[in-house]
Structure 1
Amino acid sequence: MTIAAESPGTSPEATTTAARPHWIDDWRPEDVEFWESKGKDIARRNLIFSIFSEHIGFSVWTMWSTLVLFLGPAYGLTPAEKFTIVSVAAGCGSFLRLPYTFAVAKFGGRNWTIVSAALLLLPTLATFFLLEPGISYETLLVLSAIAGVGGGNFASSMANINVFYPARLKGRALGLNAAGGNLGVATIQIVGLIILATAGVNHPKMVVGIYIPFIVVAAVLSAMYMDNITSAANEKGAMREVCKDAQTWIMSFLYIGTFGSFIGFGFAFGQVLLTQFPDQFPTARDAAEITFIGALIGSIARPVGGVMADRLGGALVTFWNFVGMAVFASLVWIASMQESLPLHLIGFVGLFITSGIGNGSTYKMIPMIFRAKAQLAVAAGEDSAVADKHARRMSGALIGIAGAIGAFGGVLVNIAFRESFLRNGTGDAAYLSFLLFYAACFVVTWWVYLRPRDGKLLGV
């Protein structure tokens, strides 16, 4: 599908060309007439199928958070080794987010969604055929690493959807897209719980086997109903340019605190319960009955954060959200020292909710930062179309970088748990480190975006 260039005095029309099907050459979401007449319907359709594909990707990426619950004595693994397995999956998924971001510009959003969905067959099929008692620890690490392809899907999906929506609606659109993906964490944990409750702990292959046909469906639907945006090409050296901007590293730091926490806790929560409260959670099924709740509510909270940021400003919502995260981290720290399961669960649920809200509000800040810079450039005499195009490209690049670095926070979370349990037998040290980090995040947010001063970035 291609949107023809608008002639003077006419409304934009959607046309289909045989030479370039599914390519949109004229895309102007900030043009209200264009958006209302054609743009919003196309954007909504692409958002729906982007969410579905990304949802499957998240499930595959985080499948080891569920599979480690099945790895009982027959697999001969220590709790520290299980934390390492999930850390490898988190780390590889984080690394792949950078090339996945720029694949959208290289191949087209629709085209790369098809490829990235199909790539999910690699970890699922390999795990389905190889996972059984007697498998070596090294092989488990390789399988975990391959699952990282699911983590890359998020970055390409967000970069793609960022192009489709006008700035005033990016918070909601990106929040919904990310929430649909994040729900994949809860979904695979629910699938794991169902398998544990029915087939039992000896059938981990069923968890990944269920996803294989859905992966095929995701690739086919993306091919049928999604579009590429011709103008969504990155400037030559876009990543290099955006890396020189201090905002890139500030936002990446903040995203470690939000998404890094969400994905890290999503990977680790079940294993934390089994390790820290063995009397209350003697079996994997007992832990699985609880673990999906955190990822579920955290995912649902993400679009809430985006909507709040649209209305109140991303920086303000992010600041108060980090204050809340520090409070809940304090509760979990106290609960760990007192060995209080109820307080521990309250604190963890609070962390999942606030990490979800923060995911939405921080991602809303990214396009608004560059939109504010574009407005300053226009005021200084630069052409508005050029400034807006540059802002979209830079925000797309930053989304990829922040997504990759933020996801790496999930690795840090699991390393913190591994070291804390390995050295002290409890998670106390890990929880204290989380508290201190969230305190640093709300100080940075206030200092950079909220403290009164001249030249403050407006609308962030």
Structure 2
Amino acid sequence: MSQDTRATTAAAPDRLEVVTTSDGPTSTPTRPLASPHGGAVGTTDAPRRGRWVDVWNPEDHAQWEGGGRAVARRNLWWSIAAEFLGFTVWQLWSIATPVLIAAGYPITVDQALWLTAVPVLVGATMRFPYSFAVARFGGRNWTIVSALLLIVPCLGLAYVATNPGTPFWLMLLVAATAGVGGGNFASSMSNISFFFPEKEKGAALGLNAAGGNIGVAVIQFVTPFLVVAGVAASTARPAYILVPLILVAAFGAWRYMDNLSQARADGEAWKLAARTRHTWIVSLLYIGTFGSFIGYAAAFPLLLKTQFPEVDLGIAFLGALVGSLARPYGGKLADRLGGARISIAAYAVLALGAAGAVVALQMQSLPLFFAAFMVLFVASGIGNGSTYRMIPAIFRGRTSTDDVEGMVRAKRIASACIGISAGIGAYGGFLVNRGFATSTAQFGSLQPALWTFVGFYVLCIAVTWAVYARKGALGLGERI
């Protein structure tokens, strides 16, 4: 066997359990992997350049225990590192904008909300092509490329921070480049889903998602400590610090991650999901949860500073932090009590949180305003977990458990539905930001926007109950 080709050997002396490829072409054939049902699965005679794994079956217990788990976990940790930095860059402008305003940049409230909204809009859009990039280029290869792309918005922010005369249109363009960080979620989740068996996939994807979401809290926590009050140029410091971390993540992906040959985009499943009304219903519901989370995370530091100028921006990170940490609990509660029930409860709490923020504005109470937003972040995080849990159950519930082929098809469509709803849900973050901007411009207050959000959460409660929670809804065969 070529020195470049790595393999893990199980107890059986003539069986290779994990076949990984070389970092370069070789003329030495790679031994085939024995199928658990007899015969050979096989691999390529000359592995492709770029660490391709040509034989991978995480459901094969022998292969998984014989080295597959270690390979999957290694890929997961570096995926989390890259996605964490993606979310960090995606939300750079959420904290940089109020800092630039405090430093004297002539940015209006409407312009500031554009600077925080455009990265969300671009990131939501990038999630769709990023979903297919893994199948086209390989998970390892795309992780390297997508990580290196994060350097562009970092250097762009550094330029803006050190050039006070930067016109607004150029600032907006630079802010838009941060949207590439939002696309990382889709490709990262798609890639990791291929590495793990079904029984461990949920936990792996949960870790992957939480690791990314926490990136929002970290950048909002670190930036105020790195910025000298009133000095715009110091806003470049977080961007400069991120560049070497991005290079480390890209190197780690190059050195330790793998591409899977069988990671293929399921275009047929995406078409079927797009034709299914449940995909669009769930996407609407996800706007209410993830759209709320990313929208509030992008706007919260700016809202704090504009409504309560005396506030220390060092507390703004707590919103994204509690929302990220709450997400796994939403999935766990949904497993026990049903995703629809937990989602309805989450929307109800979101409505109460938005109403509480209105009362806080009327009273001009910073503690109440801050507490109301913490409620919003926790509820949106729990709703993210419960809504995602609903999707597989919805499509399983439309298929008889005796129909093996139908259950496989349902799983494929559910996976595609997750990809679609993840992208559409992120657009909700843009709508939240523009809702605040329109409300401020037309009424001079955030209150109309918050009342509108309350109305939307009530709509989500009604839809969730009517379609998924009430007994016998749409003939679904299991509790959603």
- The answer to whether TM tops 0.5 is yes
Q: CA deviation at 1:36?
A: 4.5
- Residue matched to 1:17: 21
Are 1:398 and 2:417 counterparts?
A: yes
Q: 1:265 to 1:369 in 2, by over 3 A?
A: same
Q: CA deviation at 1:234?
A: 1.9
1:350 to 375, 380, 386: 375
Over residues 79-101 of structure 1, what are the superposed CA-to-partner deviations in whole Å (9 max), with x where a residue is unaligned?
Answer: 11100111111111111111001
Secondary structure at the aligned position of 1:160 is classed as helix
Deviations 1:262-292 (A, max 9, x none): 11111101111122223x43xxxx2x22211
Quick one: which of 70, 75, 78 aligns to 2:108? Answer: 78
Residue in 2 that maps onto 1:184:
215
Aligned position for 1:295: 320
Tell me how far 1:200 sits from its aligned partner: 4.7
% identical equivalent positions? 45
Structure 1 residues 100 and 186 mapped into 2: Cα distance closer, same or farther (>3 Å)? Answer: same
In structure 1, the partner of 2:170 is 139
Q: What residue is the counterpart of 1:214 in the other structure?
A: 245
Q: Are 2:341 and 1:316 equivalent residues in the alignment?
A: yes
Name which of structure 1's ranges 167-176 and 25-34 shifts more when overlaid on structure 2. Answer: 25-34
8 Å contact from structure 2 (residues 360, 368) kept in 1: yes
- Corresponding residue of 2:428: 409
Instruction: Check the 8 A contact 1:171/1:363 in 2, yes or no.
Output: no
Check the 8 A contact 1:4/1:25 in 2, yes or no: no
1:125 alignment partner in structure 2: 155
Whether contact under 8 Å (1:300, 1:356) holds in the other structure is: yes
Render the CA deviation track for 1:373-423: whole Å, top value 9, x for unaligned.
5x53x634x547xx53x4454334322221111111010000111111222
Aligned residues: 448
Matched, 1:379 2:402: yes
Match for residue 272 of structure 2? 241
The aligned counterpart of 1:43 is 72
Q: Distance in 1 between matches of 2:339 and 2:70?
A: 26
Is residue 127–residue 184 contact of structure 2 (8 Å, CA) maintained in 1?
A: yes
Structure 1 residues 52, 12: CA separation in 2 closer, same or farther (over 3 Å shift)?
A: same
**8 Å contact 2:18–2:56 — kept in the other structure?**
no
Match of 1:365 in 2: 390
Q: Residue 476 of structure 2 corresponds to which residue in structure 1?
A: 456
Which is further off, 169-178 or 294-303? 169-178
Distance across 2 between alignment mates of 1:413 and 1:65: 13
User: Is residue 152 of structure 1 aligned with residue 183 of structure 2?
Assistant: yes
CA distance 1:76–1:393, change in 2 (3 Å)? same
Q: Secondary structure at the match of 1:203?
A: helix
- SS of match in other structure, 2:227: helix
TM-score, normalised by the number of residues in structure 2: 0.85
Partner amino acid, structure 1, of 2:391: I
Given that 1:101 and 1:397 are in contact with CA atoms closer than 8 Å, whether structure 2 keeps it comes out as: no
Match of residue 195 from structure 1: 226
Structure 2: state its 5+ residue gaps.
23-46
Partner secondary structure for residue 384 of structure 2: helix
Is the aligned partner of 1:87 residue 2:117? yes
- The gaps in structure 1 that reach 5 residues or longer are none
Does structure 2 conserve the Cα–Cα contact (< 8 Å) formed by 1:159 and 1:399?
no
State the distance in 1 between where 2:130 and 2:318 align.
29
| Residue 446 of structure 1 pairs with residue 475 of structure 2 | no
Matched, 1:59 2:88: yes
